[in-house]
Every structure is written in C-alpha cells, then in structure tokens.
Structure 1
Amino acid sequence: MSTKPRTNVRRIWALLCALLALQLGSLISPAYACGCGAMVPDGTSRIGVDREVSVVRWDGRREEIVMRFTVGGDARRAAWIMPVPSRADVSLGDPDLFPELDALTRPEHLTDTHFWPGAGDWPFSSGGRDSVGAALPGAGAPRVGVIGRERLGDFDVARLTATDPDALRTWLEANGFKLPERLATELGPYVDRAWEYVAVRLVPREGGAPLRGELEPLRIRFDSARLVYPMRLSRLARTPQSLGLYVLADHRMEPVSPIGGNIPEVTFAGRVEPEGATAELAGDRPVFLTAIEQRFPEPSRIDGDHELRATAADTPYRRIVHHRELLTVGGGVPVWLLTVGGGALVAVAVTLAVWVPRRRRRRTAHPGVGGASQVGGAI
C-alpha cells in the first residue's frame, strides 16, 4: 500500500501542532505595554491588552483622555504607568461614552442591485459578498514627588513627578508597582522633558478573579498646547498592538507621523452634535469627530508619542459598506430568469406563429402530399 496518504496525515498533524503551539505562545506571552503606558502583571502571571480604545478631547489648551482596556490572561494584579506633559487630574470615565461614539461613527450600508447573476448569486453560489468603499459628505526638586493618591473603582492611582528615571522606578517598585528593567530607560526622555506620571494599580477583584474583559474607563485631564497621545512606552510590548482613537476637537485631526506603526486609517470624520456622555465630554456643543485606527505589528519600532494636528480642510468621511443584491420581484424570483424565460417563450411563440401558417399553406398547395388517396377507373 502506498505511504503517501500516511505522509500527508503526518504533515497535517505537524502543521496543527505548530499552529496550536503558536496560539498558546501568543496567549501566555506577557504584554508589557499598552498604547498609553507600560502595563505589567504581578510575578509570573500573564496579562495581555487585547484592545485599547481611547477618546481624546482637545480645545487647544486642555486635553482629556478617556481610556478603556480589554484585557486577557491570568493576572489578578496588574499595574501600568502613563506619562503626561503637565499636572493631571484623574477620575473614572463614563462607560456610555464608547457605545455612543461607536453609533456615531458606524458605516453607512448601501444596497447595490444588479441584473445579471454574479459569483455570489444563484445559480453560481448560495452566498453573497460585501465590499467596502468610501464617501466624502526644576532644579532642586525631589527625585520623586507624590502629588496625590486615590482609589477609583478598580484602580489605585498615584500622580507623580520625577527628576530621575531610576528613582521613579525604585519608588514604583517600593509601592507595589513592579516594572520591567527596560522601563527606566524608556522613561528617560519623559524625565528629561519634566513630564509627570499617572501610575495605576489594578486592585484585585472580589474573590480573586483574574483581570479579564473590559475594565472601567479612566479619565485623565491635563493642560497641553498641542494634542499629544503618549505611545512611546508601547515599545516594551512583546505582541502586536492595536489602537482605536476617537478625537473630539474643533477641526478634523490627523497624526503627524505613523511613529513606527502602520499608516493610521481614518474610519470617520465629521461634525457631530453629541448627546449624553459624549456631550458632557465635548462641552455640549457641535464638535468635529475623527475616528482613527492603527496597528503596530512590531511595537519595538515605535519611536515617539502620537502628536495630532488639524488637517488643511475639515473634509467629512464615512465608510460605506456596499451589499450586492440580485434584482428580484415577487417572492424573490430573479428578474433575469423571468426575462430570459420570457424571451424564450416569445421566441417559441414567434416561431410557431410563422411556421404553422406556412405548413398549412404548403398542404393546401399540394393536396396529394401527406398520404391522401386518389380514386379513378377505366372508361
């Protein structure tokens, strides 16, 4: 018996094992960073930021960031640190903010009807397909200073200043924020620029359950003459990072550069009249909303923080999802089928209308044809 089938089975089994190992590796690899700062678990536990979505409000002088993380892993404790350019106020964010913005920016769905069947239509296939398009509508200061510390929901928040990155790391570790070795190096540029820090510990949940799913939103406010979204600490991440950013400002905004990630994609841009939690953040007046998505396949290539600027024009944009639909009538009967069938019937009718009279005329002109008998006799 041929050994080829056995060889194929072994290859398939080896491939499945490799894929399984890859998936397990991605689940247990520690994620030492998220978009806004370094996130670390306790001891040998693992935590991964599956998704980070942030809302940024900027009026030219003051900036507010509301962050929501979706995490996975087995860690029961975790901590992260976020650099900010000036003194920050920290509070819990409104969880209704994100579904409201999702509703404001969701794509418009259009149906395109077509006459002839395509690859996704009967009789060629039972499925369909969609396509996506676009439409325009100080010296002498202490090495580490504690500005404040408070408990906010799931978070133990410390607001800090520092003039030495190693001293900052020492304070953090002495106060329960165990951080990776490389963090002191990555904090250096922020210390040089006299930035301050928001250090957050995720307090263990009731019953000691692991930190999984969506965490409570956290709202951070600080003065800033430019719109900046801290990203540099994401260089520490060991897995690809994904960032979703809603920007509320007076004009359409764009990142100055990709900072080492994929080209940022604008998924929505337009002036909106916010309501609810969005109105509370935006100041209860019309505001320009820009939604941006970006992937960082290799976080180690991140070379700075996101700085955003106003675009040359406030050009609106909304994604449009086109659904292809076969033109039908009645109970879903394809028009092309009726047309083709009707055309065939007409052709048959025309053929019969021409052929039958001709047949009759030939029989009249030649009465002996067709088996008729003639009777005669001799005289």
Structure 2
Amino acid sequence: MWRNRRIVALLFALLATQVAALVGPAYACGCGAMVSDGQSRIGVDRETSVVRWDGRTEDIVMRFTVRGDARRAAWIMPVPGRATVELGDGALFDELRDLTRPEHRSRSYFWPRDRDWPFSSGTRDGAGAAAPSAAAPVGVVGREQLGDFDVARLTATDPDALRNWLESNGFELSDRLSTEVRPYVDQRWEYVAVRLAPREPGKVLRGDLDPLRISFASDRLVYPMRLSRMARTPQSLGLYVLADHRMEPASAIGGAAPKVTFAGPVRPESGPLATLVAGKPAFLTAIDQEFPEPGRIHADHELRAAAADTPYRRTVFHDELLTVGGVPAWLLTVTGVAVVVAGSSFALVRTRRRRTVAVPVAGSGSGSGSGAGAGAGAV
C-alpha cells in the first residue's frame, strides 16, 4: 500500500514537471513579446530602439540583449500596417550613444568635505555626481531568413488563429497573450513574427542579438507598448526618436513620467545614422521611461511634436576642491588671515609702546632753582 502511494506520488510529480515544461512564458519587452519553446528560458535584459518618422513612414530599429539557455525563441510585434523587415546596423547604436553623451563639467567648492584633508587621509575617487484582408484568419504576407532570424510577416483577424499558427511552427502562447493581442486584431493591425534560431548548431541565444529594422507606413508616430503589460518585473524603456521636430509622448500610458535625456538637431553626413535619415537633417530626442508596475500599461505610445524645439543635454558635474598651485584655497585663505591678524596685533602693540611717556618726580628740579634765587636776593 505504501509502495503504491509512493509510485502514484512520483508519477504525479513527473506529470506536473512535463505540464510545466509545456508552458512557454512570454517575456514582454519594449514593443513586443518574447516567447520560448517551452523547454528553455529566455529573458530580455534590455531593449534599445531607434524610431525614425518623416510624417509618412516609420522605421523602428531595435536590438535585444538577452539571457537564458534558449537555442531558439519567437518574438512578436504588432504593427499598424504592412511591414518590411531587414537587418539593422549595430553601429547605429554606438553612434547615437556618442551623440547623446552627457556633458561633463567641473565645479569647485571652497570648504573641505568629508573626503578632503584634514577630515580624511585618503584621496577622493573622482566620481561624478524610449489593411489586412478578412479572407483568412491568418495570412503569411512574407517570409525571409535574415542572419539568425526567420522572419514571418502575418495578418490576423483572430487572436486564437494567430496563436494556433505560431504553435504549429513550434511555439506555445499563453491564453493571456491571446487576450492581449485582441485590441490589435480589432484595429486590424498586422504582426511581425520573428523566429530566433542561430544557424550555428548548439548556439545559445545570449548577449546582444543582431538588430532588426522594421518599416511601415504610418501617418502618426506610434510605438507599440501594450504587450509590455504582461511583464512580471519592472520595465525600462529607452527610445531614440528622429523626426522633424522635438518629440514627446502624448501620455505616460501607466508608467512614470517620461524623461528627456537629450534633444537637439543632428546632421549626419555618413555612417548608419545618415543612412537611416536618408542624409537629411533631423531632430533627435532621447527618452527614458520607467514602468514600476507593468500591469498598469493601458495603451501604446503615441509621440507628438513638442511645443518648441528646445535643445537639451544632460550635464554631469564633478565637484573638486578649489586649489591654488596644488594647495587648498581654504588653507591659503585661513593662513593668510591668521598672518594678517598676527601682524596687525604686533603692530598695535608696538604703537602702544611708543606712545608710552615717563611721569617726572615732583619737586626734584624746579624747587632747587627757586631756592637758589631767593637766597641770592636776600644777600
């Protein structure tokens, strides 16, 4: 009897393990969902995106930094219109990072602080202070192999049909993701489904993946974010936005207030950035936003022109003790004041001594002369 119970318990545990392995969790990222194959794990540590919009066409170039043990995964992104997909240039992100670096400035302070002599004998460390057809539920409008990416461009009028198509290609989507894509289906959006499968046998998806560039027609600048509400941990969004003017999100869509970290015109003459903007001047706006509670995300980001094209660059100040010839200015000042005070005191003492006059003894000189004169007259 006891042995039979142990066998039943062991079978139950094995069954639970297999069921858990079949559930492929979706990892929300900035503008899509990453799905594993149910037998491995993959997580997105960071997603950096560049958005270019000229009033008619929108280009999104994105690069994922991933971790986990997955040898293949799927990524789904909704788009408002028919999209084209190609490999992006990783040097684009390096160029934009250099363009938007904070300005470093030094500022001096007079009085010593905790890490300065005489309060500390150590040295300072010098650290300074984001129109489908209704004929079929799912249609494949294009498919191509781009490096390690197998890219399929889909139309879908039924979220369950989209899930079924992806599952038939080796990926399992949760019921929740099927529910979350419903608003996009209702708006008759399309999808870019990317199968990440390195050609090199046994290679694991890890680190920085090759960037993808997705282009589609759009009369408004929109950045899909609604799927990020599925994330289980706080999310961070970083966007480089290139347009004719300084851009800003129309609302926070459930996150913290977006922060502009750079704003200014750029005129690239060569390189990947010049290619992206077709050699034309553009206004670059870098935006960061935090989502402490992803479940509160309720819409996609729609960006609009700001009231003015005001330039902005972050400034990092490095505080340094004011010195003169390598000597702290406060020490020179205090020493100088001490010398002046000492000198003044010494001069005052000397002046007082010079003004001191001896008092004469009474009757010692004038009295004798009077007596002599009187005596002579008497004779």
> Which TM class, normalised by the smaller chain length?
0.7 to 0.9
Name which of 180, 188, 197 aligns with 1:186. 180
Structure 1 position 291 matched with structure 2 position 286: yes
Identity %, equivalent residues: 71
Coordinate RMSD, CA, aligned: 2.2
Superposed CA deviations along residues 199-252 of structure 1, whole A, max 9, x for unmatched, are 011113635233221111100000001001111111121121111100000011
2:248 equivalent in structure 1: 254
Q: Which moved more, 1:61-70 or 1:179-188?
A: 179-188
What is the CA–CA distance in structure 1 between the aligned matches of 2:169 and 2:243, rounded to whole Å?
37
The within-5 A match list for 1:39-58 is 39-58=34-53
Q: Any conservation in 1 of the 2:38–2:171 contact (CA below 8 Å)?
A: no
1:227 equivalent in structure 2: 221
What is the CA–CA distance in structure 2 between the aligned matches of 1:96 and 1:223, rounded to whole Å?
25
2:334 equivalent in structure 1: 340
SS in 2 for 1:172: helix
Structure 1 position 76 matched with structure 2 position 34: no
Q: Flag the structure with larger Rg.
A: 2
1:110 equivalent in structure 2: 105
Name which of 123, 137, 140 aligns with 1:143. 137
SS in 1 for 2:274: helix
Structure 1 position 304 matched with structure 2 position 327: no
Shift of 1:355: 3.4
Name which of 91, 95, 99 aligns with 2:94. 99
What is the CA–CA distance in structure 2 between the aligned matches of 1:140 and 1:255, rounded to whole Å?
32
Shift of 1:70: 1.0
SS in 1 for 2:204: coil
SS in 2 for 1:75: coil
Name which of 59, 62, 69 aligns with 1:64. 59
Superposed CA deviations along residues 162-188 of structure 1, whole A, max 9, x for unmatched, are 111111110111012322221111111
Write the letter of the residue equivalent to 1:281.
L
Name which of 208, 222, 231 aligns with 1:214. 208
Q: Any conservation in 2 of the 1:120–1:129 contact (CA below 8 Å)?
A: no
Segments of structure 1 that go 5 or more residues without pairing to the other structure are 1-28, 132-137, 367-379
2:11 equivalent in structure 1: none
What is the CA–CA distance in structure 2 between the aligned matches of 1:233 and 1:119, rounded to whole Å?
48
What is the CA–CA distance in structure 1 between the aligned matches of 2:115 and 2:260, rounded to whole Å?
29
Aligned pair count? Answer: 330
What is the CA–CA distance in structure 1 between the aligned matches of 2:335 and 2:169, rounded to whole Å?
81
Segments of structure 2 that go 5 or more residues without pairing to the other structure are 1-23, 360-379
SS in 1 for 2:181: helix
Shift of 1:147: 0.9
What is the CA–CA distance in structure 1 between the aligned matches of 2:156 and 2:108, rounded to whole Å?
63
SS in 2 for 1:32: strand
SS in 2 for 1:209: coil
